[in-house]
Each structure stands twice: as C-alpha cells, then as structure tokens.
Amino acid sequence: MSKYRFSIYDYHAIKEADILIDGITVLAGPNGCGKSTISRWLYYMIDIATDFDSYLVKGYKTEINSLLQNISRAIREMWELHRGINNGQNILQSVDDLKLDDNFSLDSIGEYSGKLHLFIGKFALQLDKFLNAENVQEQRKDRVLNFLNQNLDGEEKARNAQTFAELISLQVDKMQQEVLYKSEDRSLTDVLSFLHTYLYEDEMVPFEISLQEEGVNIISDGRLGSLFNLDKAIYIDTPMAFGLDDFLKNVFWQRLRKLMLEENGCHNKQNIRLLYRISEILNGKINVSDSLLGNKEMYYERKDGKLLLPLDKIATGMKSFAYLFQLIKNGHLDDKTVLMIDEPEVHLHPQWIVVFARLLILIRKSLGVKIVLASHNPDFVAAIKAIAKKEQILDETNFYLAQSVDDDGVQYAFKPLGSDIEPIFNSFNIALERIRQYGDTDL
C-alpha cells in the first residue's frame, strides 16, 4: 500500500506540519492549533487531484448550458414571431436534451461536441428561414440576431444564419480544446478556481503545501499532479451536521450524504462482518427509503422493529456509527480511500469512545482505509494505541502532537511521536493542574 506525506508550513495557527499517512494518523493538540485545517486542506488536495477532469467537464458543461439557454430563448422568440418554423418545438426539445446530458466524461467530450455541431446545423436552418421571412419585421430579426450574438466571443458578429453557425461552431471547438489543454496542464490556477466554485473555499491557499505519494510531490512547478493509488477522500467534521439548518452549505456533508445514499453493491465478507458489528452496537440498522416527495431518506430501525426514526432525529453519538454503517454498506471505504474525522469522541459516551476507536482500527485492518483523526481526548488516543497494538497494526499507526512554538500559543508545530503517546498525556495533564489550581483558589 502506498505511503503519503502531507505538509503545511506557516499557515494560520500552523507553523509546521509534516504528516505521514500510512494507516491511522492521530493529530492531538489543543483547540485552535490547526488540526482541522490540516484535514480540510488534505481533503481539498486529494479531491481535486482525483477529480480534476470531472471539475473541468463541469465547468465546460456550465458554459455550454449558458450558450444553449440563450439559443433556447431565441427559438421561443422566433417561434412566437413566425409560426412557419414548424420544427420549433423539436429544436427546443433538442436544446433540453443537450442541457440534461451530463453523462459524459473528458474521454467522451468529443462525442458530446459532435451532438452540439449537429444541433447547431439544424438550428441554423430554422434561423435562416426566420431571417428571410417576409412577414417578420426587420427590427425583430435584428433583435433575435443581436441576442444570439451575445453568445459569441470576440469582436466579429454574425449578420446571417450561416455566419452565426460558423462562429458558434468555432467557439464550441475552442471550448473543447481548452478543456483538453487544461486537463494536460493541471494548473494551480484551475485548482484555485475549483476551490472557490465547487468547494466554496474562499481562504487563501497555503503558500507552502505539499502532498507526496511514495516520495513524489504532486504539487510542484505550478501544477497539481495525479494520484495513482487514491480515488477519494471523505471528511467528517461533526455528526451534528445531520440536524443543522446549514447542512446544505457544508460541502463535506453534502458529499457524505450522497455517498451514504449511493449504493455501490459491495458485499464482501469483511464488509458484512463490520456491518454486523455496528448493528450490534446500534441494536438496529440504517435503512434507506423514498420519501413522499420522492427523495431518498435514511432512517434508523431498531432490531425489534418497534422503533423507526429519521437519521437526523437519533442520538448524536449513534450518528457517528450510522455514517460508518452506510459508507461500509455502500462500498465506499476501501484501500483507495482516505477517511478524515474531526474529534470523533466529542459526542460519544465514554464507553462508546473505546468502542468507536476499536471499530476504526478494524476498518483499517479489514478494508485498508487510510484514516486521519483529530483528537484531544486521552481515552480515545489511548484506545487507538492499545487496540492497534492488539490488532498488530501499531507499526502503521502514527501520533502527532501540536506544540506551541511561542509564548502566546499563536502558532504550533506538529511533532511526530511515532507510537509514543506519553507526550500527549503530558499535555493533557495541564488541564488537571488547572483543576487543582482553581480548586485551591477562591474564585
């Protein structure tokens, strides 16, 4: 299995973070030290590196749809003014079909472009009839043509149907070539665009950031390379998001929900064993059904069948197990996945903290998932180490501790500890000292 190393320097609270991802990685430290920042930017880099071409196709499709929308409006205007366009409705349907056609990739973009050219030819015939119709005012013809010219780049504008078809066809070809060029170039300029447009990240990108796969940095020379042995990242910041009003504003949870609803037909023995284990913990299972509005909804069903609850209504601690249940059931956790979870212990009962830690260890051991955990809970950290040792994967479990590099605690360096968690416990003991201090002092 491939090893990965992710590094960030001098970014917000992070002075230095050089993190090995080789199995299970635990980031420990106080609030505000940058643990979540590391997970977030790791997610971004993996996501864009693996889906770069998909984002390019999305952008291409958005531009094409804008072009088609304007043509659609022109067709409706032409149809109202000149009923002699007897194929008006058919052409409108062709526009809708092209707009709804999202089932293509970079490899098949040429085929889609061919469909566009066929449509442009059909539309040009109807446009020519309209522009030469004697019963349509010249001002009306100019209005439609001027509207269509808004689609065209450059200074040259069409004054007849043939010229419009030629210019718009050249533009479609140019758009296709631009996408293919960007796919080869993989510029960080496009990475920034994807961050803003699709991941809703407005913060400045860390100036010093790197992601290595087997010692090769994929972020170099102004480009973002490909990852050969990863195909997705999953980032879970809090199970509370299932019940939050701003759920739809959280791109991580939008995507997690999609994976939880997206069946992948994976039912190997390892998955089945893990699902049984989680079902025993939950005393039930998670099911998916269609709502009255036609949307798919997840709900918890108790083992005795006497309790059914929407997933957003169950206890927050149970949600932590629920999302793992669905990801495993749908086959989205495998050796090509990095799973990042922020402070998974926060909403768990102390007993379930250990149970959850064990489940993560077994997921790593059984499925090969790379897991990155941010924590400030001594029980959780201790459980990860103890169970990793018992399951004989301690050699691929790495602990890091965020240590302040200045007196004000403004910036932190993440110190690699290997499997030694003693320094983490020493940092947690600061809280005990403060308890004793406050207990001995009149407030």
The DSSP secondary structure of 388-423, one letter per residue, reads HHHTT-GGGEEEEEEEESSTT---EEEEEEET--HH
Domain ranges, ordered by start, for the chain = 4-51+225-439, 57-185
* Averaged pLDDT for residues 73-78: 84
pTM: 0.90
Cα 75 from Cα 69, distance rounded (Å): 10
- Looking at residue 435, its pLDDT comes to 53
Amino acid 102: pLDDT: 82
Task: Give the pLDDT confidence score for residue 22 in this predicted structure.
Answer: 93
Mean pLDDT of 108-123: 93
Task: Specify the DSSP class assigned to residue 155.
Answer: S
pLDDT at 443: 45
Angle between helix axes 109-131 and 35-81 (nearest 10 degrees) is 30
pLDDT of residue 433: 59
Average confidence (pLDDT) over 173-199 = 96
CATH, range 4-51+225-439: 3.40.50.300
Of 19, 17, 21, nearest in space to 1 by CA: 21
Nearest CA-CA partner of 259 in 333, 313, 200? 333
Report whether pLDDT(321) > 90. Answer: yes
Query: CB-based contacts of 72: which residues, under 8 Å, 6+ apart?
Result: 92, 95, 96
**Which residues are CB-contacts of 400 (< 8 A; sequence separation ≥ 6)?**
17, 19, 25, 26, 27, 28, 414, 415, 416, 417
